[in-house]
Amino acid sequence: MGHLKMKATQQLHDLGQSLWLDNITRGLLTSGTLGRYIREFAVTGLTSNPTIFDHAIANGDFYDDAIRKKALAGKSGEALFFELALEDLIQAADLFRLIHDATGGVDGWVSLEVSPLLADDTAATIKAAAQLHARAQRPNLFIKIPGTGAGIQAIEETIFAGVPVNVTLLFSCEHYIAAAEAYMRGIERRIAAGLDPKVGSVASIFVSRWDVAVKDKVSDAFRNRLGIAIAMRTYKAYRDLLGSKRWQKLAASGARPQRLLWASTGTKDPAAPDVLYVEALAAPDTVNTMPEKTLLAFAEHGSVGKVLPADEGYAEAVLAEFTREGVDDETLAAELQREGTAAFAKSWNDLMYRIAEKSEALAMVRQVPVPNE
């Protein structure tokens, strides 16, 4: 069993796809579980987002001590949260540092999101990205910036400033191309300015949310097929871009590809296989960041079969059928991005409320005399 267990995750890794964990909690770090995933499941990176932190702080007391100390030191709100998040991500970054160094900076990354309340503010996003990265002082920390209209401009400037970026909340091939072009403009400007062209980046395409969005709008034959078709179309665009003259020129100057990352790869439909998106999206030179439940399911009973084709014929045929079913993917992509942005803002506000609530409750506890042990 142990051998089989290693196999599927190791096979994906050997194929050239990085397996990252889409989760972080202080418990995952202190219990040694993350270290075990690195050893046993070839996990080579990690991503976080406001929803993940909201759940982590809500569902355990791992943070209580730190929150109490920070609250008593006069910290609150966003400032207190970023201290907590940076403590976790610095510890995670250090666990992945050997991988980062061994792969010449291609792998071994962790990600921290700027406040989702800045989604429409280019200047504030650029400033926040620079500050967070400077505070962590870790070369393998990505700052997550959403690929919204305001975000795209912030991505170019942040890359130009030499800060590594995980572009989040991308849904369509068009969204991906906009992010890739922002990345290339940032690198081209660095080269023109005589700066090092090596600045890490990934572009995160959200997959399962497509299928959730259309599940009641299409017939059963079409269930859980849209996200994968959109991903295949995007993979083709990614391959074309890496083969383009514009990219070749940058690569010759020493730039590294912005890797395509599959996000939102946990199966949401209880009737579908729990490893659906992991198996369907096996592809070299990509990353799959998966929820803990999905990682464990794939390690236990997943298998690597067909590798994603760069040929878009199949994907385009499937997407044409969705168009006939009345799904306009361009409109839906914009809607999903708006919804995703709003959902992260909601998680952020919940998180701030929870931290305020815990700070207050924990500060009160201190006033109560402790009975003798």
Show which residues are catalytic. 144
Cβ atoms within 10 Å, residue 128: 21
Residue 288 corresponds to which tokens in the numbers above?
A: 């799959």
Least Cα distance to 201 among 238, 243, 226, 253 occurs for 238
DSSP E strands in 215-330: the ranges are 259-263, 286-290
Cβ-contact 84, 56 below 8 angstroms: no
Q: List, as one string, the DSSP characters of 133-171.
A: HHHHT-TTEEEEEE-SHHHHHHHHHHHHTT--EEEEEE-
Least Cα distance to 260 among 322, 329, 177, 320 occurs for 177
Cβ-contact 15, 42 below 8 angstroms: no
- For residue 67, the number of C-alpha atoms closer than 13 Å in the C-beta half-sphere is 26
**Where does residue 299 rank: exposed (0-12), middle (13-18), buried (19+ CB within 10 A)?**
buried
Residue 339 corresponds to which tokens in the numbers above?
A: 């919804």
SS3 233: helix
Residue 45 corresponds to which tokens in the numbers above?
A: 């990176």
Least Cα distance to 158 among 149, 140, 145 occurs for 145
Least Cα distance to 77 among 67, 86, 91, 64 occurs for 67
Residue 309 DSSP symbol: P
Distance CA 89, CA 75 (A): 19
SS3 307: coil
